[in-house]
Homo-oligomer: A and B are copies of this chain.
Amino acid sequence: MFNDDLVFKALGDPSRRFLLDLLFQRDGQTLGELEAELAMTRFGVMKHLRVLEDAGLVVTRRSGREKLHFLNPVPIRLIHDRWIDKYRERQVSALTDLKTSLESKKCQSSKKKA
Protein backbone atom coordinates (compact mmCIF):
# COMPACT_ATOMS: atom_id res chain seq x y z
CA MET A 1 0.00 0.00 0.00
CA PHE A 2 2.72 2.49 0.97
CA ASN A 3 6.30 2.19 -0.19
CA ASP A 4 8.60 2.24 2.84
CA ASP A 5 11.55 3.60 1.01
CA LEU A 6 9.65 6.50 -0.54
CA VAL A 7 8.14 7.45 2.80
CA PHE A 8 11.43 7.44 4.71
CA LYS A 9 13.34 9.17 1.93
CA ALA A 10 10.63 11.82 1.84
CA LEU A 11 10.84 12.39 5.58
CA GLY A 12 14.62 12.61 5.38
CA ASP A 13 14.64 16.23 4.23
CA PRO A 14 13.96 19.12 6.63
CA SER A 15 12.16 21.23 4.02
CA ARG A 16 9.75 18.41 3.37
CA ARG A 17 9.11 17.93 7.07
CA PHE A 18 8.43 21.63 7.33
CA LEU A 19 5.91 21.31 4.50
CA LEU A 20 4.18 18.56 6.44
CA ASP A 21 4.16 20.81 9.49
CA LEU A 22 2.53 23.56 7.44
CA LEU A 23 -0.15 21.19 6.20
CA PHE A 24 -0.63 19.76 9.68
CA GLN A 25 -1.32 23.32 10.76
CA ARG A 26 -3.69 24.07 7.90
CA ASP A 27 -4.76 21.55 5.31
CA GLY A 28 -5.55 22.27 1.69
CA GLN A 29 -2.88 24.86 0.91
CA THR A 30 -1.77 25.65 -2.63
CA LEU A 31 1.76 25.58 -4.00
CA GLY A 32 1.75 29.38 -3.97
CA GLU A 33 0.86 29.54 -0.30
CA LEU A 34 3.42 26.95 0.70
CA GLU A 35 6.11 28.53 -1.46
CA ALA A 36 5.81 31.75 0.52
CA GLU A 37 6.89 29.95 3.71
CA LEU A 38 10.10 28.42 2.37
CA ALA A 39 13.40 30.13 1.58
CA MET A 40 13.51 28.57 -1.84
CA THR A 41 12.09 29.11 -5.34
CA ARG A 42 8.73 27.57 -6.16
CA PHE A 43 10.52 24.97 -8.28
CA GLY A 44 12.24 23.55 -5.26
CA VAL A 45 9.01 23.50 -3.28
CA MET A 46 7.23 21.82 -6.19
CA LYS A 47 9.84 19.11 -6.31
CA HIS A 48 9.53 18.48 -2.59
CA LEU A 49 5.75 18.32 -2.78
CA ARG A 50 6.08 15.83 -5.59
CA VAL A 51 8.29 13.62 -3.44
CA LEU A 52 5.79 13.82 -0.57
CA GLU A 53 2.94 12.99 -2.90
CA ASP A 54 4.76 10.01 -4.40
CA ALA A 55 5.32 8.76 -0.88
CA GLY A 56 1.63 9.08 -0.05
CA LEU A 57 2.33 11.55 2.73
CA VAL A 58 0.45 14.25 0.86
CA VAL A 59 -2.64 13.89 -1.28
CA THR A 60 -3.80 16.55 -3.73
CA ARG A 61 -6.93 17.83 -5.42
CA ARG A 62 -7.11 20.24 -8.31
CA SER A 63 -9.41 23.21 -8.11
CA GLY A 64 -9.30 25.31 -11.24
CA ARG A 65 -5.78 26.43 -11.82
CA GLU A 66 -4.81 25.70 -8.25
CA LYS A 67 -3.65 22.47 -6.66
CA LEU A 68 -4.65 21.85 -3.06
CA HIS A 69 -2.40 19.79 -0.78
CA PHE A 70 -3.53 17.66 2.16
CA LEU A 71 -1.55 15.79 4.80
CA ASN A 72 -2.05 12.05 5.03
CA PRO A 73 -0.94 10.68 8.41
CA VAL A 74 -1.40 6.98 7.71
CA PRO A 75 2.13 6.18 6.50
CA ILE A 76 3.56 7.81 9.62
CA ARG A 77 1.49 5.59 11.84
CA LEU A 78 2.87 2.59 9.96
CA ILE A 79 6.46 3.68 10.61
CA HIS A 80 5.67 3.74 14.28
CA ASP A 81 4.22 0.26 14.22
CA ARG A 82 7.36 -1.15 12.62
CA TRP A 83 9.69 -0.78 15.57
CA ILE A 84 7.41 -0.18 18.50
CA ASP A 85 6.45 -3.54 19.83
CA LYS A 86 2.78 -3.62 20.81
CA TYR A 87 3.74 -5.11 24.15
CA ARG A 88 6.37 -2.50 24.85
CA GLU A 89 4.25 0.43 23.63
CA ARG A 90 3.07 1.33 27.11
CA GLN A 91 6.64 1.72 28.40
CA VAL A 92 7.84 3.79 25.46
CA SER A 93 4.81 6.00 25.76
CA ALA A 94 5.60 6.57 29.39
CA LEU A 95 9.11 7.67 28.46
CA THR A 96 8.00 10.14 25.81
CA ASP A 97 5.32 11.53 28.08
CA LEU A 98 7.97 12.03 30.71
CA LYS A 99 10.07 13.93 28.17
CA THR A 100 7.13 16.15 27.26
CA SER A 101 6.35 16.73 30.89
CA LEU A 102 9.94 17.72 31.65
CA GLU A 103 10.09 20.13 28.72
CA SER A 104 6.95 21.97 29.74
CA LYS A 105 8.36 22.55 33.18
CA LYS A 106 11.76 23.80 32.13
CA CYS A 107 11.63 26.79 34.44
CA GLN A 108 10.57 25.04 37.61
CA SER A 109 13.68 23.02 38.35
CA SER A 110 17.13 24.16 37.34
CA LYS A 111 18.87 20.83 37.49
CA LYS A 112 18.25 17.85 35.26
CA LYS A 113 20.47 15.28 33.71
CA ALA A 114 20.60 14.38 30.02
Interface, chain A (partner B; CB < 8 A): 1, 4-5, 8-9, 11-14, 17, 20-21, 24, 71, 73-74, 76-85, 88, 92-93, 95-96, 99, 114
Contacts and interface: CB of A to CB of B under 8 A. Distances in A.
Given A73-B92, A99-B1, A80 B79 contact: yes
B11 A8 contact: yes
A17 B77 CA distance: 16
B1 A114 contact: yes
The residue among A1, A17, A79, A96 with the most chain B CB atoms within 10 A of its own CB is A96
A92 B74 contact: yes
Given A1-B114, A4-B17, 5 more contacts: A4-B14, A8-B12, A24-B83, A74-B99, A81-B96
